[in-house]
Amino acid sequence: MRLKSMFIVMTGMLVFFGQACKEKSKELTGNFTFIKGDVTVNSKKVTIGTPVRSKDVVNVSDASGAIIQFSTGALITLKANTELEVSKLLYGSDGKPGIELNQQKGSTFSKIQPGKAEYKISTPTAVAGVRGTAFNISVGGAGKTEIQLLQGKVAVSKPSAKAEGSSEAAAPKEEPVELQAGQKLETSSEGIEEAVKLKADEKENLEKLNQITFVAEDKLVDEKALKEEATTIAPESVVQETIVEDSTSIAAATDEKETVKKAEKAKKEEAPKMTLAELKKKYGQLSKITTKDGQSYVGAFEQQGSNMVITTIDGKVKVPVANIAKVSPHN
């Protein structure tokens, strides 16, 4: 009888702990708190309040935007032409939300309150892990990624090089690069570039996005309440200026930068080289031309349409006039 009683007690305890563990690892869902234009989840059109679950794929079309809140402590703004896969949504054993996202293209702004959620976003060339911050991720051509950080810290690392099912040993894991507030960096298939300071207009845009507010949990599934608060959640100026903008320009800008670099290199290789003395004798006064992305050239220049053609000691270089920061005499 005594053994039977002990068995019943132990069984009850196992059931209790099993339920407790189950509750602590229960699935987390997110909800759309703002939608503008054409937004789908798994190819189905969504409305305000629609839930987002693990393994869902969210697509935002041109001139569209959306905001998803996963808890009172984590939300993400998806800008135009963005594709985002929800890899994992799960409450951890500590009760905090564990959120893992996979961004294949486009631009997003994440806002996470300190200590509220374990949050990670992966792109084809980067993994960003955070615990409390406000930052923007843009993915362009060939998976090139730019991360802009407004607040907090972000640990940026390269995605795992080991393919699934591969028998080869994984490469040694590199230490992540820690991005500080007010900085940005780019990643590509070649690696992670050095962090640089945000430009004034970039910081201003992030500050506008940071105006987006959290919604009380009891209103997350209330479509009527969310629609009434739409202008409070995301002010119209923020929506028009920073959310529904065409994020394909990110890829275009990245590709244009690469095209310009290749063109410059080709021009240098095909043109005969000259010394500065020979250049000055042939063209007279020489100038120093500095571009907005930090390049500088010394030589003679002339404008051809929207481009400036600079004759240097290494040959001719064509630079868009819009990319010129300063032209000064060279002694």
DSSP secondary structure code for residue 234 in this structure: S
Both tokens of residue 144?
């090139």
Whether residue 98 is predicted with pLDDT greater than 70 in this model: the reply is yes
Which is nearest to 257 in space by CA: 146, 103, 158? 146
Note the pTM of the prediction, 2 decimals: 0.69
In the block, which residue shows the tokens 């985002």?
Answer: 84
Average pLDDT over residues 301-310: 87
- Residue 5: beta bridge partners? none
**Considering the chain, what is the average pLDDT of its residues?**
83
Whether residue 261 is predicted with pLDDT greater than 80 in this model: the reply is no
Which is nearest to 103 in space by CA: 130, 140, 72, 70? 140
Whether residue 167 is predicted with pLDDT greater than 50 in this model: the reply is no
Whether residue 290 is predicted with pLDDT greater than 50 in this model: the reply is yes
Whether residue 175 is predicted with pLDDT greater than 50 in this model: the reply is yes
Whole-number Å distance between alpha carbons of 307 and 318? 6
Label residue 21 by pLDDT band (50, 70, 90): very low
Whether residue 161 is predicted with pLDDT greater than 70 in this model: the reply is no
Confidence (pLDDT) at 177: 94
Whole-number Å distance between alpha carbons of 191 and 294? 21
Looking at per-residue confidence, does 265 or 232 come out higher?
232
Percent of the chain with pLDDT over 70: 80
Enumerate domains of the chain plus CATH numbers: 10-161+174-252 (2.60.120.1440), 261-330 (2.30.30.100)
Which is nearest to 180 in space by CA: 200, 209, 208, 151? 151
Confidence (pLDDT) at 84: 97
**Given the DSSP bridges, would you call strands 286-291 and 296-304 parallel, antiparallel or unpaired?**
antiparallel
Label residue 82 by pLDDT band (50, 70, 90): very high
Confidence (pLDDT) at 28: 87
Looking at per-residue confidence, does 115 or 112 come out higher?
112
Please answer whether residues 194 and 183 qualify as being in contact, where contact means their C-beta atoms are separated by less than 8 angstroms.
no
**Is 227 exposed, middle or buried (CB count within 10 Å of its CB: 0-12, 13-18, 19+)?**
middle
Please state the φ and ψ torsions of residue 240, each to the nearest 5 degrees. Answer: -70, -40
Whole-number Å distance between alpha carbons of 157 and 228? 40
Looking at per-residue confidence, does 308 or 25 come out higher?
308
Whether residue 322 is predicted with pLDDT greater than 90 in this model: the reply is no
**Is 105 exposed, middle or buried (CB count within 10 Å of its CB: 0-12, 13-18, 19+)?**
buried
Give the angle subtended at the CA of 81 by the CAs of 226 and 148, to the nearest 5°. Answer: 85
Whole-number Å distance between alpha carbons of 106 and 59? 10
